[in-house]
C-alpha cells in the first residue's frame, strides 16, 4: 500500500514538475507547482513526517504559491503570447549543467549506503519541536531560530519602507 502510494505521489510530483517547466502560461505553471508541492507533502506523510508535511502545505502552497500567483497577476504578461526561444548556446549550456547536476546527484545517491532505518519512523510531537526550536542545549536550534526571526523582521521593515515610498511622511503630515 505504502509502496503504491509512494510511486503514485512520485509520479504526480514528476509529472507536475514537467508541466511547470514546459508550460508557457505562467498561471498554469503556478497551478502545476501546487501539484508538485502537494505530492511532496504526501511523500512526507508516507515517512510519518506529519509536521513537515503540514508546514510544507502551509508555507509553500498557502504562502509561496499565493505570492507567486500575485506577482504573476500584477507584473508579468501572463499568457506570454509570443514565445521567446533561448539562443542555442544558452540551451547547450543549460543542458550541460542539467546533465552535470544529474550525474552528480546520481553518483552521490549511488555511492552512499543509505541502509535501512534502525528506528521505526514516528512523527515528532509539538512539545519536542517546540523545545528543539528554543532550547540552548546541544540539540537546540535557538540560534538559527533567532537569526531567522531577525532576517524576517528586517524583511518586514524593508517591505514597509518600500511600500510607503519616499516622501509619504510629508503627505501624511499635511
Q: Provide the b/e sequence for 57-80 (b: ≥16 CB within 10 Å).
A: beebbeeebeebbeebeeeeebee
Choose, by CB under 8 A, the member of 12, 15, 20, 55 that binds other proteins: 55
Which positions from 93 through 122 interact with other proteins, judged by CB under 8 A? 118-122
Instruction: Give the range of 9-17, 52-60, 105-113, 159-167 binding other proteins by CB under 8 A.
Output: 52-60
DSSP string, 141-152: -HHHHHHHHHHH
CB of 125 to other proteins, least distance (A): 6
CA atoms of 21 and 35, how far apart (whole Å): 13
Query: According to the binding rule CB under 8 A, does residue 143 interact with other proteins?
Result: no
Residue entry with cell 549506503: 113
Identity of the residue, 24 or 91, whose beta carbon is nearer to other proteins in the bound complex: 24
CB of 11 to other proteins, least distance (A): 18
Query: According to the binding rule CB under 8 A, does residue 78 interact with other proteins?
Result: yes
CA atoms of 132 and 125, how far apart (whole Å): 11
Q: Is the alpha carbon torsion for 61, 66, 69, 71 positive or negative? A: negative
Query: According to the binding rule CB under 8 A, does residue 126 interact with other proteins?
Result: yes
CA atoms of 95 and 93, how far apart (whole Å): 5
Query: According to the binding rule CB under 8 A, does residue 8 interact with other proteins?
Result: no
Give the residues lining the site for other proteins (CB under 8 A): 1-3, 25, 27-28, 31, 34, 45, 48, 50-51, 53-55, 57-58, 61-63, 65-66, 69-70, 73, 78, 118-128, 131-132, 135, 137, 139-140
Amino acid at each position: 500500500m505504502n509502496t503504491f502510494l509512494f510511486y503514485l505521489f512520485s509520479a504526480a510530483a514528476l509529472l507536475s514538475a514537467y508541466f511547470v517547466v514546459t508550460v508557457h502560461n505562467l498561471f498554469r505553471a503556478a497551478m502545476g507547482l501546487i501539484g508538485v508541492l502537494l505530492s511532496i507533502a504526501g511523500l512526507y506523510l508516507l515517512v510519518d513526517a506529519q509536521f513537515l508535511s503540514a508546514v510544507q502545505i502551509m508555507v509553500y502552497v498557502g504562502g509561496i504559491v499565493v505570492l507567486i500567483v500575485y506577482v504573476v497577476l500584477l507584473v508579468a504578461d501572463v499568457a506570454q503570447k509570443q514565445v521567446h526561444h533561448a539562443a542555442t548556446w544558452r540551451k547547450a549550456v543549460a543542458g550541460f549543467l542539467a546533465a552535470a547536476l544529474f550525474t552528480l546527484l546520481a553518483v552521490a545517491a549511488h555511492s552512499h549506503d543509505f541502509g535501512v532505518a534502525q528506528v521505526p519512523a514516528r512523527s515528532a510531537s509539538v512539545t519536542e519541536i517546540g523545545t528543539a526550536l528554543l532550547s540552548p542545549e546541544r540539540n537546540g536550534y535557538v540560534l538559527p531560530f533567532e537569526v531567522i526571526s531577525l532576517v524576517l523582521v528586517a524583511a518586514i521593515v524593508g517591505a514597509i519602507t518600500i511600500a510607503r515610498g519616499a516622501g509619504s511622511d510629508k503627505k501624511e503630515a499635511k
